[in-house]
Amino acid sequence: MMKLQIDWALAVKSSACGENDSINTAWVVSKSASARGAPGLFPPELIVQVKALACEIPAIYNVPISRWSTADLARYVRQSGIVATISDSTIWRWLNEDAIKPWHYRSWIFPRDPQFAVKAGRVLDLYERVWNHSALKDDEYVISADEKTSIQARYRRHATYPAISGSSMKVEHEYKRCGALAYIAGLDVHRGELFGRCEEKSGIASFDRLVDQVMHQQPYSQARRVFWIVDNGSSHRGEKAANRLKGRHKNLVLVHGPVHASWLNQIEIYFSILQRKVVTPNDFPSLKALEKRIMDFQQYYQQIAKPFEWKFTRKDLNALLKKLALKTLAN
């Protein structure tokens, strides 16, 4: 450790009895200086080293854990001889300065589509009302669509208790399975309009019924073009699906996102809201009850719905792909 050097160069004054009356003053000054300097007891090089360590996988250092905690980091830096003494709270403070949270994690899928940039760029352009470098007309619309499959209805073996003062909602752990359904939905990303239906299962026929539901109503039936952003699911995969839907609706343009890139599809944001507010906790006595709750929530949500504030642009996409390319080269 690098300790603060206390300046003891004080003016020495002798008292009448011959004692040095500066000693007491110096002791007070040294204590207050130590208190003020506590955060600076460690050199900057050490702080940087600990932050870099937190940004590595523990297994690299033969530590048998999957994620660092502040306690694990403190223990490692002490045992490895990097520093003799350090507290968990000190490490937490250092990491918090740069918003480093190695104990958090999230799943993701590395872009593997060879046309990722092209496909993702088309989707992002549509969110900004651009297609092939030209701005969309007022009578052109963009629909984001997908299926939320296998939503189960679980009938709890005991009634759910609502929250009360000092106690959260209680949901019985055991349940009876009452089947599952698929929710197929589309979102007009610029108008905030939501369309959806429940089906026994997903598939071409089910998806086509949603498309017909939307395209047979105004303003889409008379629109110049309606772009449907979809993933690569079997219900709407490839050129065959594009031709099929074009045959049903002449003004429909099917736009596929990259493989394994559902995060680019705005309908997934609504699905996450539905999951949190309707499906979790799952307590439904029947599929009919589940379907009613989903459709009632769709109507409820539509009353307050507005377009999502999508901020990820082509510029952000290019920066992300460049960053991933550099990481790939480094590995």
Residue-level pLDDT at 295: 97
Q: Which CATH architecture has domain 116-324?
A: 2-Layer Sandwich (3.30)
pLDDT, one tens digit per residue, over 17-43 is 444 444 344 334 333 333 333 445 899
- List of residues 6+ apart from 150 with CB closer than 8 A: 180, 182
Around 140, how many Cα atoms within 13 Å sit in the side-chain half-sphere?
Answer: 14
Residue-level pLDDT at 277: 96
pLDDT, one tens digit per residue, over 68-100 is 999 999 999 999 999 999 999 999 999 999 999
Residue-level pLDDT at 40: 54
Residue-level pLDDT at 259: 92
**Which candidate, 177, 153, 156, 192, places its Cα nearest to that of 279?**
153
CA–CA distance, 238 with 222 (Å, rounded to integer): 26
**Which candidate, 75, 76, 67, places its Cα nearest to that of 102?**
67
**Which candidate, 55, 57, 56, 45, places its Cα nearest to that of 82?**
45
**pLDDT means over runs of 10, the chain (331 residues):** 34 41 41 40 92 95 96 95 93 96 88 91 97 97 97 93 92 93 98 96 96 97 97 94 96 95 94 96 95 97 94 92 82 66
Helix extents (H) in the chain:
22-36, 44-54, 70-79, 88-97, 116-127, 204-215, 238-248, 267-274, 287-302, 314-330
Annotate 314-329 with b (16+ C-beta within 10 A) or e (fewer): beebeeeeeeeeeeee
Return the domain boundaries, the chain. 42-105, 116-324
**Which candidate, 31, 268, 33, 52, places its Cα nearest to that of 147?**
268
pLDDT, one tens digit per residue, over 112-149 is 889 999 999 999 999 999 999 999 999 999 999 999 99
**What global pTM score does this model have?**
0.76
